[in-house]
Amino acid sequence: MKRFLVITLAIVMCVVLFAGCGGKTGGGTTGGGGGGGDDKIFVGALYDSLQVESRVNQRNALEKYAPEMGIRLEFQDGRLSEQVQIEQAENLISQGVDAIILMAHNAEAMGPLVDMCNENGVILLVTDRIVPDQKYDYYVGFDDRWVGDWQAQFAVDNAPKGNYALIAGAPTDPNVIIWEDGWDRVLTPYVESGDINIVFRDRTKDWDTTIAANNMENALTLANDDIQAVLAMADILATGVVQVLDQRGLAGKVIVTGLDGESTAYQRIAEGTQHMTIQVPDVEISRAMLQLLVDHFAGKDLSGLDTLDNGTYKIPAIFVEFQIVDASNLMEMIKLGYADYDFTFENVPEADRPPRP
* DSSP, residue by residue, 53-83: HHHHHHHHHHHHHTGGGTEEEEEEE-TT-HH
Give the pLDDT mean for 158-169: 98
Measure the CA–CA gap between 282 and 52, rounded to whole angstroms: 12
pLDDT tens, residue by residue, 280-330: 889 999 999 999 999 999 999 999 999 999 999 999 999 998 899 999 999
Where does the pLDDT of residue 100 fall: very low under 50, low under 70, confident under 90, or very high at 90 and above?
A: very high
**Domains and their CATH numbers in the chain:** 11-142+281-322 (3.40.50.2300), 145-279+326-352 (3.40.50.2300)
Instruction: Convert the pLDDT of each residue in 215-245 to its tens digit.
Output: 999 999 999 999 999 999 999 999 999 999 9
- Residue 322: the pLDDT is 85
Residue 10 has what pLDDT?
39
- For 237-260, the pLDDT digits (tens) are 999 999 999 999 999 999 999 999
Instruction: Return the number of other C-beta atoms located less than 10 Å from residue 77's C-beta.
Output: 18
Going by pLDDT thresholds of 50, 70 and 90, the confidence category of residue 38 is low
Alpha helix segments (H runs only) across the chain = 11-18, 53-65, 82-94, 111-119, 147-158, 174-193, 209-222, 235-247, 263-271, 282-297, 330-335, 341-344
What's the rounded Cα separation, in Å, for the pair 326 and 346?
Answer: 17
Average pLDDT of the segment spanning 133-159: 94
